[in-house]
Chain A
């Protein structure tokens, strides 16, 4: 604690070391898993430093150690050349470290101002704190292009603005070192550009920025230096100007990777799915999907691009039978009921629709169930899994699971293991195996590779293309533009519950799609 006090608030007062943060020999294990292994890194003051690595490479653990969420098993942290101990977040804040988490830590029904002062109030009474914060917030907003209405409720703000609140929170606490964890996952390209402008502005004022991301492009465009993590170790730290996306990817994975998806031109057949004026209201009566219409042909992948939260989830849920909807949906000539007791996931499966949901952990799997039980999930009525009219045939389901695990390369191939014991990529393979093995007429697939390691990404992409080549229709929803561009035969862009336009991947670029995702440039 004493050490932390030494380190705090001295950043601006002619520090002795050129480094804002130095980590020396940091190790951290969870049980038998070595999350961080002898990490050494030195981050120069006044730079933007990228940290890149696959899921599970140990980036988040390392940052959590810096922010006092975990304590390292061994090693040393130096802030501005002085050793500090960071047993809790309060010490991290005192040492001048601010953190913007991937999932914002905001109170939804509080105002911006209340969120900013939470934990940094000036006294037991609120009014004085609020008045002071209002003034400081105004100054900060002007200085760094961080304008937000201090009296707005968080739940009324866009994600981009919510993120600004998180940055303001850190600056209000006089952070000199700002860590951002996957900050652009929820932003439009435009908003992301704005964010990077803000970050550069902060850097130019002498602040140090640590940017954690898995997007190579952001690293290349924004950072001064980049460190690569792989399986808990820091494999390299290089100047960004002296490296390339390909060599960074190779460092991340440990082998050469194909960033491009190889696929033949589509041989599209007749119309498989026809959607007309599909609309969805949420539980509060707000229109989330405002009447979209499109067709998908057999043997075609239709990609839906868009920033998260613009109606794509509702589109998948409406088609998958999870959310009630209005409009007309015709699959292979038969109209599907969109409301009432026949509008449910089982009826859609019976109609030939398979659905790999966006969120496999809360929708696609029962995490406490064994793998074999999850392979029956949604298909537990299937005659193949029944012994007789009364009893299920659990043995048949287990045998089928073992077969699927072999085909889809699920590791470890143990049907009785609980879903939560598998890695993200292998969980996704279980879902993909379950849904694709049905040979559906239409595959709905959302964020197929979110939180999935690069090896599994290649595998899942190949499966999607194989299904297309087998003459099936695929509706692909992803917030990763790269993924949309490389897999889709046609791309629709969604914004605010509507379709902004259609493009062919070969005839567009990320710039144009990005504008459309931000609601501009409709056709």
Chain B
């Protein structure tokens, strides 16, 4: 199918070159479904044929602004289970939108196979084309290529899973009451960031494998059998201790929700399933949180590149490009730390600048670039970009590819805020001495372990009072926030018995503890 369209397009291009009278695909702001298809074909041809982007098939859906608001507040999924917190975010967005404080994002794209992208009906044709390029080819290829998404999300299953989740939550509400379900979901939501597996667990053994292993073990013990051992007196104490390890879990567990789901002594089966649902949703969004800069940067880089290519091929007119560039410029604006409306580093701006910069380093390296990036300077930019997209997350991407030139361009500087000093100090700035330090600190800022406190389950008193012990390992003497005791209360609700949170310092001694008891 794809082959066919490109052949047709190619033929067209040929004719146009000869006759040189082929105009733009459309003019003006109006869009129609025929035009959407036309643009999609043209953009798709450039993306896949010229630049070799590997995408899931696309499903482009046109929706109204109301529906966009709905999708927004469901954290971007088309289907979600009912919960008041989604209502809260809906009300918030709705209010901001109506009072004109904020426009709507012009696109939402869902990491699914086929890749679903939403276009808003209010958009003009150039905007629709921009969104198609951005979402349906930019984000889409990122979802398909990046290692985190490949590892952690199954794009073909998410929609079905959410359908199941919604139905399950509704059934629970019917059976156990809205309030009971809501209370449980509140607790789960509070711990969602701590319900994530960061390392693949080996697949569980199939029954056949298990049987085989059991046989092997038996055979081994038969081989080792020696009558003489039976004559030894049995050591009672040693025997009991070997049956059950004194400490459980043997290793600290960082996935709190998983531990709760598997081991909570009090949860009902349906409650366990709800914990699992929130855990799955958190896991689904896990890669998105780690690749915000890369993902947006990649999509922005590609809408910019693809649409410029359309323009070069004279498929769009000047008016089209001016509108596209206006939006593009708005998206990649980076305000300085002391300017109004500064809200941290804009992931679109940083990501776009970095991908563009990598291309520049490949195509026109300066001596500085050759010194900093000897591997990629002067090589094929498409290959380098593709490699970066596939194998990095924000943290490593910045640590690897942020060039001194960009640090200068963004005027990046690092502020150090140390507890035992009265004032903050300027740690390093965009100069020769500071490049590496700034880059390291900026990369660290996108490190999940740096952003979230380190909280792990260390002990479950299985044979005693069933209490749970959770440890917060303090890093650089940063304490927990004020919410902590409320969250602990939620954890206690899920666990059902006493939960104790110890804060230990770098040496491992407890500096603070808090307890939540049932009732």
Task: Check if A and B associate.
Answer: no
Seen from chain B, the residues whose Cβ lies within 8 Å of a Cβ on chain A are: none
